[in-house]
Amino acid sequence: MDSPTWVYLLGLAGMGIYGSRIIVQWYLSEKSRRVESPGIYWVLSSIGAIVLYIYGWLRKDFSIIFGESLSYYIYMWNISSLGMYKKVPRILIIFQALFPLVIIALIAQDWETFVNVFLRNKDVPPKLLAFGMLGQFTFEIRSVYQLVYSVRHKKSVLPLGHWVLAVAGGLMIIIYGFIRHDWVLVLGQFSIFFSIRNIMLWFIARRNDRQEKESLSSTEEAGPEE
């Protein structure tokens, strides 16, 4: 299904916002030589999700809407856990919280039309839609993993599993995008290279921590010099 140019430009804007978040995160992680979870990463994630919700709706692509729905409120949790909502007008928080519910209300309002347009879309056969949803699920479930991990550690963290799932899901979304001729989805996954770099940084930080512990242990065993 072909779409007007402005729809693709909107999708590119959404992907651009998503891409900028990981560039900032990668830059800060490179500076500290370990994977960081900055507040701006989650703010840009939330804004990008809203834009891509709209893009998925205009493209009649349920896999995109499905994928954004999996992680939307997790972005909000991370923003809240970092204390960033204290500086945001309440009306914006309410808008952010209600936005996905508006999409659900639109779907429920005319369920039959939704099924015919989104789930029986001739341009997205059932098997292709299922594959696209699986790719989105794999990509977005990383946020669920990140939430569980962060809750257990009582702080916002971007763990190794988050990036592994991002790479696996990203590859599936690229394949789906090629088949659908949706270059917005394909180009949007340029962030896969940053995900791979974050995996490398995780192992680098782990090695450095181990070496630091070994060095400290050796110093303690040697005892003070006389």
pLDDT tens for each residue of 199-224: 999 999 989 888 888 787 777 666 65
The closest alpha carbon to 193, from 24, 23, 34, 40, belongs to 23
Q: In whole angstroms, what is the distance from residue 201 CA to residue 42 CA? A: 20
- State the chain's mean pLDDT as an integer: 87
- For helices 39-58 and 62-81, give the axis angle rounded to 10 degrees: 160
Q: In whole angstroms, what is the distance from residue 150 CA to residue 166 CA? A: 17
Q: What is the pLDDT of residue 25?
A: 92
Q: In whole angstroms, what is the distance from residue 166 CA to residue 191 CA? A: 9
Q: How confident is the model over 146-172, as a mean pLDDT? A: 93
Q: What is the pLDDT of residue 226?
A: 47
In this predicted structure, the answer to whether residue 14 has a pLDDT above a threshold of 80 is: yes
Q: In whole angstroms, what is the distance from residue 210 CA to residue 220 CA? A: 15
Q: In whole angstroms, what is the distance from residue 202 CA to residue 196 CA? A: 10
In this predicted structure, the answer to whether residue 9 has a pLDDT above a threshold of 70 is: yes
- Helix (H/G/I), strand (E/B), else coil: 19: helix
Cβ-proximal residues to 221 (8 Å cutoff; 6+ apart), any chain: none
Question: Concatenated DSSP letters for 101-162?
Answer: HHHHHHHHHTHHHHIIIIIS-TTS-HHHHHHHHHHHHHHHHHHHHHHHHHHHHTS----HHH
- Enter the tokens of residue 124: 């997205």
What is the pLDDT confidence band of residue 97, given thresholds at 50, 70 and 90? very high
Q: In whole angstroms, what is the distance from residue 46 CA to residue 121 CA? A: 28
Q: What is the pLDDT of residue 220?
A: 66
Alpha helix ranges (H) inside 89-125: 90-109, 111-114
Cβ-proximal residues to 35 (8 Å cutoff; 6+ apart), any chain: 29, 158, 159, 163, 198, 201, 202, 205
Q: In whole angstroms, what is the distance from residue 55 CA to residue 173 CA? A: 15
pTM of this prediction? 0.78
| Residue carrying the six token digits 């995008």 | 177
What is the pLDDT confidence band of residue 115, given thresholds at 50, 70 and 90? confident
